[in-house]
Amino acid sequence: MSRKISISSAAWPIRGAFTISRGSRTEAIVLNVRIEENGIHAQGECVPYLRYGETVDSVTEQIQSIQSALESGMNRTELQTAMAPGAARNAVDAALWDLEAKKSGKRAWELAGVTMSPATTVYTISLDTPEAMESNTREHSDKPILKLKLGGKGDLERVAAVRRGSPDARIVVDANEAWSKDIYQTLIPVLVKLGVEMIEQPFPADNDEILTELERPIAICADESCHDRNSLAKLVGKYDMINIKLDKTGGLTEALAMKKEAEDLGFDIMAGCMLGSSLAMAPAMVVAQGCKVVDLDAPLLLARDCEPGLVFKGVEIAAPQKELWG
């Protein structure tokens, strides 16, 4: 066997800007891992996330630390103990899935025992003034489900403005840890009336115990509080859903195991993403099958995408092409 690993980074420009409670970005920085083995080329992508202490340099160093073992034939099972969960392992895990699929002549989801169907993703409305969010919503009035980025003060006005802009859309909101108990208790009854179906990570991950004291008439989804299977036990009784992101689980391998365990515990599942290209979304499509909420719209928010990218029909995502991944 002759296997070579290469690592590179890329910057994908965002259409306009992407703003959440922690700040704003105009480009998505990703890291790509490529494997060449006996003439077969495979690839995977991750998005280093500063919220979890990750940078392009730190993630590159993590992958380089096991590069020799990878080139000597390390497989996905061995990878799970060789690297900790996070973006670095995700990129390698995705590339190894792609390699297995290409070597076997089967699609990655077939190897995983998953039936693949198109998935309908939310469309994200970035955090802004109520007026700007309403205008953005009207531009995307054809989108059946909207995800609103919120930030604390002024959130009631933001949600009401979006509801005016799209009276019939399903709405989920993401506070990105920005709320206090008072904000939560003030907003909840009004959000119920506005038809909000789910609230993602209202409180900081290190202060979410408060959810055990509060009524949850709207489903509460864990994001920053939820990483891999080791996170699940502490989420019981606080959250109704979990957001599975491959850059947090450390790849599709752990994500599929986490999804099953979470469902066994009674959680509904959201398939989410960081802000990356279609290459990062492709393996997440395997997790997205049967999920209550799918949030894989990142390529729609970019000014340009990788080639080939995922094929979108509105917000319906087709199965990844072989040339992209898996």
Per-residue pLDDT of the chain (326 residues; tens, 9 = 90+): 689 999 999 999 999 888 887 788 899 999 999 999 999 999 999 999 988 999 999 999 999 999 999 999 999 999 999 999 999 999 999 999 999 999 999 999 999 999 999 999 999 999 999 999 999 999 998 999 999 999 999 999 999 999 999 999 999 999 999 999 999 999 999 999 999 999 999 999 999 999 999 999 999 999 999 999 999 999 999 999 999 999 999 999 999 999 999 999 999 999 999 999 999 999 999 999 999 999 999 999 999 999 999 999 999 999 999 999 99
User: Exactly one of 143, 245, 248, 259 is catalytic; which is it?
Assistant: 245
Query: What is the rounded CA–CA span in Å between residue 206 and residue 322?
Result: 41
Task: Spot the catalytic one: 102, 143, 147, 149.
Answer: 149
- Which residues make up the CATH 3.30.390.10 domain(s) of the chain? 3-105
105, 81 Cβ separation under 8 angstroms: no
CATH dotted code for 119-317: 3.20.20.120
Rounded Cα distance between 275 and 9, Å, is: 14
- Does residue 313 have an active-site annotation? no
Give the pTM. Answer: 0.96
- Would residue 292 show up in a list of annotated catalytic residues for this protein? no
Give the residue range(s) of CATH 3.20.20.120 domains in the chain. 119-317
Residue 19 belongs to what H/E stretch? strand 3-20
Output the CATH code of domain 3-105: 3.30.390.10
